[in-house]
Amino acid sequence: MDDTFERSLTLSFYPILTRNEFSHEMIRGMVVGGTTGCITQCVTFPAEFVKTKMQLDGKMEAPRYKGNWDCVKQVIRKNGVSGLYKGLPIAISGKLAAVSCRFGAAEYLKSKTVDDTGVLTNQQKVICGFGAGIAEAVFSVTPFETIKVKYIQAQGLEKPLKPCGIIQETKNILKKEGAHGIYQGVTATVMKLGVDQMIKFVIMDLLKDFYKNRNNTKEVPLPILAMTGMTAASVAVIMSTPLDVVKTRMQSIRGSEFKNFCHCVRTIWNEEKLNGFYKGTLPRLSRGCIDLAMTQVLYGMLSEQYNRLSNRCQ
């Protein structure tokens, strides 16, 4: 990009973004986080697609997949490789909103709780991670996840519904089920993301601190950032997958059959036992590790570029 144009573009938007109540850290988190989320979503969406199909394979749909790879083969046989990307525009829109909200909330909470030394206590890390997860769940993830799950399930029916844009999908849900249809599974989503982000936030920071050995000026190289992301994602996936399964079931086309979160949990346990709570674990694990490793690396790289541009504007 031409240097003069780059500077002009940044000077035009930077004052608008950073005025009044928005801190520099919060805006950086939203912009860089949103961009990072879109990139990682494009790379990892096939695994997300398979995970959703596997989690719906049970009560919501008649069992028809022998395993994850069987699901992949059936989808490709029926719709080609592009079949693994059905619902990607919805997922990207949701990811943009979710990651922007997550990083924005995390940076905002960190700026409000950090002391003069710039170091967060473990308790503060837990609060920031859990708070960011709740904000992400309520303001962005639940609506977009509900639309995505219903869309993927509808495209797998014997007579698939005609694909349409995210606005039309939202209108269809609101027309049939009202606002409740958009916010199905909100309790499970809040719990899942709260636990998920809390674990990731704490483990990544602990691993970074361990590497720095109490030297806050020490830079963490990109390979180490990737490793911290993969480690944190692995633990988070194991701990939060049961909640993710409940969320997916409640957000499905037949999710209204469940009276509430507890009723859904009891139903899955009665019909499928513990195995039902861990459907789609492998694709979710692979997606989570790749996603968070890429996020850690890209977020660090893009943050440097953002800081460089913002410093030139001052």
Is 178 among the domain residues? yes
pLDDT for residue 2 is more than 50: no
Q: Distance between CA atoms of 136 and 196, rounded to whole angstroms?
A: 11
Residue scoring higher pLDDT (254 or 250): 250
Is 215 among the domain residues? yes
Question: Model pTM greater than 0.85?
Answer: no
Q: What pLDDT does 243 receive?
A: 92
Q: What pLDDT does 15 receive?
A: 41
For 16, residues 6+ apart whose C-beta sits below 8 A from its C-beta are none
143-169 residue pLDDT tens: 888 888 888 877 766 665 565 666 777
69-128 residue pLDDT tens: 888 898 898 888 888 888 888 888 887 777 777 777 777 887 778 777 777 777 787 788
Is 154 among the domain residues? yes
Q: Distance between CA atoms of 276 and 54, rounded to whole angstroms?
A: 10
Q: What pLDDT does 12 receive?
A: 38
Q: Quote the Cα angle for 301-22-170, to 5°.
A: 85
Is 311 among the domain residues? no
Is 32 among the domain residues? yes
β partners of residue 57? 61
Is 146 among the domain residues? yes
Q: Which of 292, 100, 105 is nearest to 199 (CA)?
A: 292
Q: Distance between CA atoms of 34 and 246, rounded to whole angstroms?
A: 26
Helix H or strand E encompassing 289: helix 281-313
Residue numbers of the domain that contains 145: 2-306
How much is the mean pLDDT over the chain?
78
The mean pLDDT of 236-254, rounded to a whole number, is 89
Q: What pLDDT does 162 receive?
A: 61
Question: Helices then strands (H, E): number in the chain?
Answer: 12, 0
CATH at residue 135: 1.50.40.10
Among the ranges given (18-32, 201-215, 252-266), the one the predictor scored with the smallest mean pLDDT: 18-32
CB 67 within 8 A of CB 295: no
CB 148 within 8 A of CB 93: no
For 286, residues 6+ apart whose C-beta sits below 8 A from its C-beta are 47
Confidence of residue 262 (pLDDT cuts 50, 70, 90): very high
Burial readout 85-105 (b: 16 or more C-beta within 10 A, e: otherwise) = ebbbebbbbbbbbbbbbbbbb
Q: What pLDDT does 228 receive?
A: 86
- Total domains present in the chain: 1
Is 247 among the domain residues? yes
The SS3 call for residue 61 is strand
pLDDT for residue 232 is more than 80: yes
For 102, residues 6+ apart whose C-beta sits below 8 A from its C-beta are 33, 132, 133, 135, 136, 197
Q: Distance between CA atoms of 151 and 166, rounded to whole angstroms?
A: 10
Beta carbons within 10 angstroms of residue 211's beta carbon: 16
Q: Distance between CA atoms of 300 and 19, rounded to whole angstroms?
A: 24
Is 312 among the domain residues? no
For 233, residues 6+ apart whose C-beta sits below 8 A from its C-beta are 200, 285, 288, 289, 291, 292, 293
